[in-house]
Amino acid sequence: MNSLSLESDFYSFHLRPDEGAWDLSAAGGGRIEHARLGARLRTHRGEMDWVGGLSGAEAFDRGKEPSGHGAVRYAGLRLSRDGLEVVAEFEACLERPLFLWRLSMKNVSDQEIMLDSLEMLQVGPAACGGAASRRAAEGEGTPGTLRLHADPGDISFFTNGFQSWSFAGALGPDQHMPRTRLGPILWPENPATPVSRRRGEFVAHMFGVAVDRAHRTGMLFGFLSQRATYGTLSVRLDRPALSLRMWAQGDGVVILPGQSLTTDWACIQSVDLDGPDPLAAYMDAVAAENGVGAGVVSPVGWCSWYKYMKAVSQQDVEMNLACAAGLRDQIPLSVFQLDDGYQAAQAEFLETNDRFPGGLKPLAGRISDEGFVPGLWMAPFITAPKSALSRHHPGWILQGPRGGPANAGSTWAVLSRGLDVTHPEVMEHTRQLIRTAVHDCGFRYLKLDFLYAGVLEGRRHDPTRTRAQALDAILHLIRDEAAPEATLVGCGCPMGSGIGVFDAMRIGTDVAPTWHPRYFGTELFFRPEPTFPSVRNVLRNVLARMPLHNRWWVNDPDCILVRQEDTRLTPAEVQSLATVISMSGGSLIVSDDLTVLSAERIEWLGRLLPTLEGRAQVLDALETSEPSEIVLKQSGAAGEWTLVARLNWDDKPRALPLDLVHFGLRASPKYLWADPWERCAGLAIGPMLYLPPIPAHGVRFVAVRPATGQPAWMGDTLHISQGQAVKAWRVEGSELHAKLSIGRPRRGEAWVWLPGAPQQVALDGKPVLARAQGYGVFALEIATQKESELTIRW
Ligand code: 9PG
């Protein structure tokens, strides 16, 4: 057979088995030529790589068939040789712009085979590390080419980081892959992935997107799941052709005679950079592939960590609990979560220290009695060298590849250890931990942290399981034990392993009361750290990983800090954090001492509740690591409007006009806008909105709608949505009747546009002062009840 082809409206794919090379052209303009497959394997006798050749393979073609991703055209090849059976399968989705493939290796010999990597795609001169480059170096065949456009323009690459805290964002050819300067002291990223120090050379985990900024097009390369192996990409941004290697990490696992390993599906998706939701096809396919259910509503609550850290006491929790109960009408929180610091000793998550004399179960009871959901932090897969667990169960500690315990990073000033999560006793121990916390103590919200410690490189009790399989098994055990009623939040978690397991997932590093990273009073050394606690690093990841929200899980952006003292954050920085967290639609967890919050900051927090539905679009997320253009459409009784935010990442104020058509508004001669942080509103002529300069690290956040000459609700300080408080809106002649409610009483300012000067404005029958702002805009001071009636006559 000399070629195998698959066609869809989106792709045309040709594989030449004899050369072991394939081509793919996308209707979007992207083109891959002469890409290679391969595998790196060993036996105890030496290497036995497969360099992708498939000559003599038996073809099997099931034609067109249904799949979890709509109808597909399917074809595959099977080849047996040298004790190995290789299966390569390909699927062109007919209803969505996805092309899928996977590889399977079966050991048909009588000896153990060790798998180092499965090479899904190698193209370009620098598809480093793989069999193809070695083969190319030996003069065999061409290295292949990858082009996003016939006439390549300005290129960037979006990289997804390995775990919750890892960097995510777009980088250009002149940039370096962000990396820590703290070496092995910091928690490891995917320890099996080499990171280049060259400019324009990047790695990505699970997925990455190569983008041609000039031609507004791109291609996503990724894996639909991470259940079999961790899937990794490395890329070099050269023009005109890029180099890309996409591989499944085999971790050196043993494939026993008769056993096989099949990769997760690899995937290509064409990307229209100016489309409304450029990565939607991939993001939805991942959710479907991992069986993600209906999902939970975004958790709203309080967490002890960013105020009290390890010194937290029962009294701190109880004081905040009483305060939260008292403030319920202003800030209706639901979850009350105790973080790290309560434990009697390292890795003993059910025994409390003397700052918690009452113990965990009574505390959960108190929280419940006050009407909140009790939440607890635990880090089940990490421990300290001297912990009781390490001493009593040395066999539970994961051994590194070169002997000695594997390093889980220097957390809390000790070189911590990871557990061997394939060990049956570790699994049973974990099951007991979850059972006790949820079913015995009554914690219905668990934040499970430092989960990467379960996938360190090392020699496992079960050598036939990849790191991805090991984590997958224990996370599903946790999910099953916790039962569906408990909300599970992943943290420090390899991202792909959490899909279909966690209700919410931390998608960035820790927040801190500082914009730039800072440690021991110094910013100098720590400022460039890409994953060190700081608002800057949090915002970057929240914006980069926005498309995951409400598909894979609820995004947890990490806590919001609104405190006015004991912080280095300026009011503008707090507003940036509040605006981005809020527009993300993800979890909203405050981590301040509620008893000392000023009235102003309580009012700010109150605006954010309930959380916004949907997910914002970040227009420049695939083009820069400091994205600054955020849009979230709204509709309701008040009509249709758009929330637009523009961030200023600079250390000094900047005037940044907003081009409303660029932000997705329809062209209109006039627009109405309202800026609730600045408490002002107005009418703009033409689509360019010129507002005062944005402070350093601040945000310009406006609600905008085309002006139609009809009475309009423009925005308010009642709720961040700028209009969801309006439950009914009826205009009769020169009278307006509106129902206002956010489910609780609230005081604030609102802006309306009226066709004439108001003769009478009343809320629940009481007169309201309307201040003219010019051009038909009026500001109203209002205090709504749980439900209120606004009438205006002009
Ligand atoms: C509790 C915290 C909070 C926080 C988590 C996680 O490398 N380190 O020393 C290190 C310490 C803390 C940390 C991450 C790394 O933060 O993200 O929300 O729960 O643990 O210890």
Distance 423 CA to ligand 1 centre (A): 25
Residue 289 beta carbon below 6 angstroms from any ligand 1 atom = no
- pLDDT tens, 375-396? 999 999 999 999 999 999 999 9
How many CB atoms sit inside 10 A of residue 309's CB? Answer: 12
The four Cα atoms 266, 267, 273, 276 give a dihedral, to 10 degrees, of -120
Cα–Cα dist 394/496, whole Å: 29
Cα–Cα dist 14/31, whole Å: 12
Strand partners, 634: 641
The best mutation among 305, 451, 541, 560 to test binding of ligand 1, ranked by most ligand atoms within 8 Å of the C-beta, falls on 305
- Angle between the N-to-C axes of helices 360-369 and 314-326, in degrees from 0 to 180, rounded to the nearest 10: 10
Rounded mean pLDDT of 484-489? 94
Distance 438 CA to ligand 1 centre (A): 22
pLDDT of residue 183: 83
What is residue 311's DSSP assignment? G
Q: SS3 for 275?
A: coil
The residue contributing the CA closest to ligand 1 atom 13 is 510
Cα–Cα dist 99/27, whole Å: 12
pLDDT of residue 348: 87
Sheet harboring 777-784: ordered strands across? Answer: 712-716, 746-753, 777-784, 770-774
Cα–Cα dist 435/482, whole Å: 7
pLDDT of residue 413: 73
Q: SS3 for 478?
A: helix
pLDDT of residue 132: 46
Task: Give the atom of ligand 1 at the shortest distance from the alpha carbon of 187.
Answer: 7
Cα–Cα dist 537/530, whole Å: 7
Cα distances from 773 to residues 111, 390, 671, 779, in angstroms, run 82, 68, 15, 7
Cα–Cα dist 77/725, whole Å: 59
Whether residue 238 has pLDDT greater than 90: no
Distance 560 CA to ligand 1 centre (A): 16
- Which residue type is seen at 416? S
Q: SS3 for 366?
A: helix
The tokens for 45 are 């006798």
- pLDDT tens, 278-288? 999 999 999 99
pLDDT of residue 185: 79
- pLDDT tens, 122-167? 999 887 454 544 554 444 567 899 999 988 889 999 999 999 999 9
pLDDT of residue 3: 85
Rounded mean pLDDT of 21-27? 96
Nearest to 222 by CA among 263, 174, 276: 263
Rounded mean pLDDT of 291-296? 90
Whether residue 537 has pLDDT greater than 60: yes
Rounded mean pLDDT of 463-492? 97
Cα–Cα dist 398/421, whole Å: 8
Cα–Cα dist 734/757, whole Å: 10
Residue 339 beta carbon below 6 angstroms from any ligand 1 atom = yes
The stretches of 378-514 forming alpha helices (DSSP H) are 388-392, 424-435, 467-482
Rounded mean pLDDT of 639-657? 97
- On average, the pLDDT of the chain sits at 95
Choose from 98-107, 132-141, 185-194 the range with maximum mean pLDDT.
98-107
Q: SS3 for 476?
A: helix
Residue 305 beta carbon below 6 angstroms from any ligand 1 atom = yes
pLDDT of residue 239: 74
The residue contributing the CA closest to ligand 1 atom 2 is 340
Q: Which residues contact 404 (CB under 8 A, 6 or more apart)?
A: none
- pLDDT tens, 674-719? 999 999 999 999 999 999 999 999 999 999 999 999 999 999 999 9
Whether residue 597 has pLDDT greater than 90: yes
Rounded mean pLDDT of 665-669? 97
pLDDT of residue 389: 93
Cα–Cα dist 625/543, whole Å: 9
Rounded mean pLDDT of 720-740? 98
- pLDDT tens, 29-86? 999 999 999 999 999 999 888 999 999 999 988 778 888 899 999 999 999 988 999 9
pLDDT of residue 60: 86
- Considering the chain, what percentage of its residues have pLDDT values greater than 70? 98
pLDDT of residue 137: 46
pLDDT of residue 296: 87
Residue 449 beta carbon below 6 angstroms from any ligand 1 atom = yes
How many CB atoms sit inside 10 A of residue 232's CB? Answer: 23
Distance 492 CA to ligand 1 centre (A): 8
Read off φ and ψ for residue 355, nearest 5 degrees: -80, -10
Residue 649 beta carbon below 6 angstroms from any ligand 1 atom = no
Cα–Cα dist 21/52, whole Å: 7
The tokens for 777 are 């805009």
Q: Which residues contact 397 (CB under 8 A, 6 or more apart)?
A: 383, 390, 405, 417, 418, 419, 420
Cα–Cα dist 177/167, whole Å: 9
Cα–Cα dist 352/374, whole Å: 16
Q: SS3 for 571?
A: helix
Q: Which helix or strand (DSSP H or E) is residue 53 part of?
A: none
- pLDDT tens, 742-758? 999 999 999 999 999 99
The best mutation among 340, 346, 452, 556 to test binding of ligand 1, ranked by most ligand atoms within 8 Å of the C-beta, falls on 340
- Considering the chain, what percentage of its residues have pLDDT values greater than 90? 88
pLDDT of residue 1: 64
pLDDT of residue 136: 45
Q: What is the 3-state secondary structure (H, E, C) of 14-47?
A: EEECCCCEEEEEECCCCEEEEEEEEEEEEECCEE
- pLDDT tens, 335-380? 999 999 999 988 889 999 999 999 999 999 999 999 999 999 999 9
Q: How far is CA 199 from the centre of its chain?
A: 25
Read off φ and ψ for residue 441, nearest 5 degrees: -80, -25
- pLDDT tens, 302-337? 999 999 999 999 999 999 999 999 999 999 999 999
Residue 411 beta carbon below 6 angstroms from any ligand 1 atom = yes
pLDDT of residue 135: 53
